[in-house]
Amino acid sequence: MTDIFSKEKRSEIMSLIKPRNTKPELKIFRELRRRNIYFQKHYDRIKGRPDIALPRKKIAIFIDIKN
């Protein structure tokens, strides 16, 4: 499959994508706070740096957006 954009245009498009605090992440953060669940955002003590970590329960959550 060939790319329909030039390298420069593809780079420009990709630079606009936010790696953190996307809308789905923010929705989940709000819901966890509403339920008084303790969590860490973008936890860097674990390989892969999960979007949400519940260290006390040893749970890591990665939020992936698929179109």
Report strand pairing: 40-41 vs 59-61. Answer: unpaired
Q: Of 23, 15, 21, which is closest to residue 51 (Cα–Cα)? A: 21
What pLDDT sits at residue 2?
76
The verdict on residue 28 lying in a domain is yes
CA gap 12, 3 in Å, rounded: 14
For the chain, the average pLDDT equals 89
The answer on pLDDT for 14 being more than 80 is yes
Split into its structural domains, the chain has a count of: 1
The verdict on residue 1 lying in a domain is no
For residue 38, give its domain range. Answer: 7-61
What pLDDT sits at residue 67?
57
The verdict on residue 42 lying in a domain is yes
50 or 1: which leads in pLDDT: 50
The verdict on residue 52 lying in a domain is yes
The verdict on residue 54 lying in a domain is yes
The verdict on residue 45 lying in a domain is yes
